[in-house]
Amino acid sequence: MSEQNIPVKSIVEGAFFAAITAVLFVISIYIPLLGTVVSFLCPLPIIILSLRHSLKFAVIATFISGILVTLLAGPFQGFMVLLGFGLLGITLGYGIKKEYSFTEIIILGSIASFVSKIFILMIGFWLLDVNPFLLDVEQIDGIITQSLNIYRNLGLSDEQLDTLGKTLNQSLLIIRIALPALLILSSILDTFLNYFVARLVLKRFNVKLSTPIPFINWRASKSFFWSYCIGITLIFIGTRYNMLLLNKIGINVQVIFTMIFLICGISLIGFFMEQIKVNNFLKWTVFIIVCLFPLFTQIATWAGMIDVWVDLRTFIFSRKG
């Protein structure tokens, strides 16, 4: 069928999915807890539309949803729909429609998510005049002072406020330095979560997505270990010779690959629990404990590193056998 004779059904579905995207985004803004969950559904209408019709309809629907959100919530939120959820949804829809592999879709989606976050930060800097990459000492002190005033009004003691102030100061400095790494990791996480949510929903539309390697079998490659070592080396050289740029690059590299090893360590723990038939509730309890307590987090990270060189799954259970 030619482009001049666009089916009415396609037009109606495009408008419907654009409205659904706008509604989901508005819910994600104004309903705190539910909004966090709903935010991962925002790209879904765009993905479904690109699969059922074409990318052109998905792009048009994204712009329409952006206009609707602008009217309902403001221009900045409208840009977030276009750049945040719209770009990711179009990219994932394109990858799924082209039948790319799971790894290719995740890489493509992560790049799109990262680019969208950079654009959103640039727009935020333009509108709010706050650059998270260039926070100076006065800005950090101002943020900490405002936060401590809130906690002081809640009744915290001076000793607790002093401890909290030191923690906030250290956290903000780390965020300032490692913001590029945090953006990369959050882009990958966004893509993962949206892909798996889309996978669950698209089953009802008889659309089969590429099957990823089960989480309990995830292992990092040796190149990741050497990349981690490069990060440590850059930190050492940057600190030794007072080269701040090298130091910052090294910290970002180390943050990224430390998180990768932590995830692989958690995967390893999940594998062992699967072998001894631990129920799901206890599994998630263990995962949460590992993430919340620094000692267990460090042990899981080390386990992920060791697993690069020694296949702990095969080593332990083959010896057991």
> pLDDT tens-digit profile of 176-227?
788 888 889 988 988 888 888 888 887 777 777 777 888 888 999 899 999 9
Q: Over 80: is that where the pLDDT of 16 sits?
A: no
Whether residue 122 sits in one domain with residue 17: yes
Pair of tokens at residue 142? 């101002």
Amino acid 287: pLDDT: 92
Whether residue 73 sits in one domain with residue 21: yes
Q: Over 50: is that where the pLDDT of 2 sits?
A: no
Whether residue 201 sits in one domain with residue 58: yes
Whether residue 194 sits in one domain with residue 51: yes
Residue 224 falls within a domain, yes or no?
yes
- Which runs of consecutive H residues, i.e. helices, occur in 241-293? 244-275, 280-292
Mean pLDDT of all residues belonging to the chain: 80
Residue 175 falls within a domain, yes or no?
no
Amino acid 56: pLDDT: 80
Domain span at residue 235? 213-321
Residues 253-309 have pLDDT tens digits of: 999 999 999 999 999 999 999 888 888 889 999 999 998 888 899 999 999 999 999
Residue 47 falls within a domain, yes or no?
yes
Residue 260 falls within a domain, yes or no?
yes
**CB neighbour list of residue 151: distance below 8 Å, 6 or more residues apart:** 160, 161, 164
Taking alpha carbons only, the member of 271, 268, 273 closest to residue 299 is 268
Amino acid 128: pLDDT: 58
Fill in the DSSP letter of residue 40.
G
Q: Count other Cβ atoms within 10 Å, centred on residue 269.
A: 21
Q: Burial level of 277, CB count in 10 A (0-12/13-18/19+)? A: exposed
Whether residue 217 sits in one domain with residue 195: no
Residue 265 to residue 247: CA distance in whole angstroms: 26
Residues 19-31 have pLDDT tens digits of: 877 787 777 777 7
Residue 48 falls within a domain, yes or no?
yes
Q: Which amino acid, residue 33?
A: L
Boundary residue ending a domain (189, 212, 235): 212
Confidence of residue 60 (pLDDT cuts 50, 70, 90): confident
Residue 263 to residue 271: CA distance in whole angstroms: 12
Whether residue 196 sits in one domain with residue 102: yes
Whether residue 93 sits in one domain with residue 31: yes
Q: First CA to last CA across the chain, in angstroms?
A: 62
Residue 244 falls within a domain, yes or no?
yes
Taking alpha carbons only, the member of 242, 109, 248, 245 closest to residue 184 is 109
Amino acid 35: pLDDT: 65
Amino acid 145: pLDDT: 67
Amino acid 9: pLDDT: 65
pTM of the model: 0.78
Amino acid 171: pLDDT: 67
- Contact (CB, 8 A) for 205 and 260: no
- Contact (CB, 8 A) for 124 and 84: no
**CB neighbour list of residue 98: distance below 8 Å, 6 or more residues apart:** none
Whether residue 245 sits in one domain with residue 199: no
Residue 246 to residue 255: CA distance in whole angstroms: 14
Residues 113-172 have pLDDT tens digits of: 898 888 877 776 676 555 555 554 455 556 566 666 666 666 666 776 677 677 766 666
Q: For the chain, how many structural domains are there in total?
A: 2
Residue 19: CATH number of its domain: 1.10.1760
Amino acid 154: pLDDT: 66
Whether residue 271 sits in one domain with residue 218: yes
Whether residue 311 sits in one domain with residue 260: yes
Residue with tokens 């332990």: 316
